[in-house]
Amino acid sequence: MHISEGVLTAPVLGTGMALTAVGTAIGLKKIDYDRIPQVAILSAAFFVASLIHIPIPPSNVHLILNGLMGVFLGWVAFPAILVGLILQALLFQYGGLTTLGVNTGIMAFPAVICFYAFRHGIRSKKPVVTMSFSFLCGLGGILLAGLLLASSLVFAGDHFVGVAKLVIIAHLPIMVIEGLVTAFAVKFLKRVKPEMLEAVYAR
Amino acid sequence: MLGRMINIKRRKICLCRQFTVGPVLPIALVLFYIVAPWANAHGIDIMAWVEGDRVLTESYFSRKNKVIDGHIKVYGPSGEQLMEGKTDANGLFSFKIPQETDLRIVLESAMGHRAEYVLKVDEIMGKSLSKIQKKRDPGFYEVIGGIGLILGLMGLTLYLRNRKRKKTDP
């Protein structure tokens, strides 16, 4: 999901940066100081997750965990993902500094959208409902990110349907895996530390 | 004074509790990744690439400290020794390609430091990009460094916030 330097045109890069700036500003406003350790931990998890490659044919893609970030962070996913991506760009040479805005938008907007779409289900008292909505959240995070990736590549001259198909097929295994990771993470934390799930609704 | 200390203590405990469950995920992810890179964490390294009909090698302790007079041996795929030599003052050693197979280049310096580099036959035949151009997988230190930076950022934010609070609270 990391778009490299030199692929996109300046207007797309600019738009990405602007949207990410807005999202990050909203996110930073919503951070409650007591939650900073939690945000940092999730940011670190996001940072490391990109190293876990899943070699299932037809592709070799890595975990992203943006759905999971969405569940726990809502808008705060923006700054958390931005920090993770800056470090990935600097230390791993994933993506690049000029594409930081676009890449953050590609991964963080789905997190926010999934958060709002599935939050009621996730807060449900029935474990089955919680888990299935969390699964959808993890899956949807990747699916939407794939669509956003494809639509930003359209401006670089690619054909949307073709790219979208390619990206989404390549990420099918990851969608299922992230769905499961998210579902079990939510289930586990709801049992052990329910306030972590509720913190995002405090403001 | 005492009341303030207790207050600080309580805040600390609160922070600790936040840490108990949170780090499980990233720590598990790191442990998952740690195992592999340890294999070559020796503090000495050798790199080899092909230029024309010669193999060039560079040996170094770190980017700045080259291995001088390091002993280099070149082995073929079945373990037979093809060549040996010593690195010069810049840590360099080059040799003509002895045969078009995988080559295992072993560097040994004083005090038991040892490193090796396998030059693949594809690289010798010029079929693949040289190792330098290829994107390297991030190593252990990059991962730990990144996590450290994130946690440092967290610490800085919390510190600044506490300082601000101290100023406003009498």
Q: Where in chain B is the domain with CATH 2.60.40.10?
A: 40-124
Instruction: Note the helical H segments in A31-158.
Output: 36-49, 66-73, 77-87, 100-122, 127-154
Q: Which residues on A lie below 8 Å from B161 (Cβ)?
A: 33
Does the pTM exceed 0.80?
no
Is A130 within 8 Å of A42 (Cβ atoms)? no
Tens digits of per-residue pLDDT, A5-59? 777 888 889 999 999 999 999 999 998 888 899 999 999 999 999 888 877 765 6
Query: Does A93 contact B at CB distance below 8 Å?
Result: yes
Is B82 within 8 Å of B68 (Cβ atoms)? no
Query: Does A117 contact B at CB distance below 8 Å?
Result: no
Query: What CATH number matches the domain at B40-124, 2.40.50.100, 1.20.1300.10, 2.60.40.10, 3.30.565.10?
Result: 2.60.40.10
ipTM score assigned to the predicted complex: 0.79
Task: Compute the average pLDDT of residues B136-148.
Answer: 83
Place of tokens 């958060």: A115
Cα separation, B76 vs B28, in Å, equals: 39
**Could you give the C-alpha distances from A61 to A5, A45, A54, A136, B49, in angstroms and in order?**
19, 17, 6, 19, 29
Query: Does A87 contact B at CB distance below 8 Å?
Result: yes
Find the helix or strand (DSSP H, E) in which B11 lies.
Answer: helix B2-21
Find the helix or strand (DSSP H, E) in which A124 lies.
Answer: none
Is A137 within 8 Å of A182 (Cβ atoms)? yes
- pLDDT given for residue A67 in this prediction: 94
**Nearest chain A alpha carbon to B156:** A36
Given pLDDT bands bounded at 50, 70 and 90, which one contains residue B114?
Answer: confident
- Which residues have C-beta within 8 Å of that of residue A53, sequence separation ≥ 6? A60, A61, A62
**Nearest chain B alpha carbon to A193:** B21
pLDDT of B129 over the 50 cut: no
- pLDDT given for residue B21 in this prediction: 53
Tens digits of per-residue pLDDT, A123-153? 888 989 999 999 999 999 999 999 998 888 8
Is B53 within 8 Å of B114 (Cβ atoms)? no
Query: Does A28 contact B at CB distance below 8 Å?
Result: no
pLDDT of A161 over the 70 cut: yes
Given pLDDT bands bounded at 50, 70 and 90, which one contains residue B109?
Answer: confident
Are B147 and A44 a contacting pair at CB < 8 A? yes
pLDDT of B30 over the 70 cut: no
pLDDT of B40 over the 60 cut: no
**Nearest chain A alpha carbon to B138:** A92
- pLDDT given for residue B128 in this prediction: 45
Is A53 within 8 Å of A134 (Cβ atoms)? no
pLDDT of B37 over the 50 cut: no
- Write down all domains in chain A, each with its CATH number in brackets: 10-201 (1.10.1760.20)
Q: Which of B19, B26, B21 is nearest to B155 (CA)?
A: B19
- Radius of gyration (C-alpha) of chain A in whole angstroms: 16
Tens digits of per-residue pLDDT, A59-89? 667 889 999 999 999 999 999 999 999 999 9
- Which residues have C-beta within 8 Å of that of residue B22, sequence separation ≥ 6? A37, A38, A41, A196
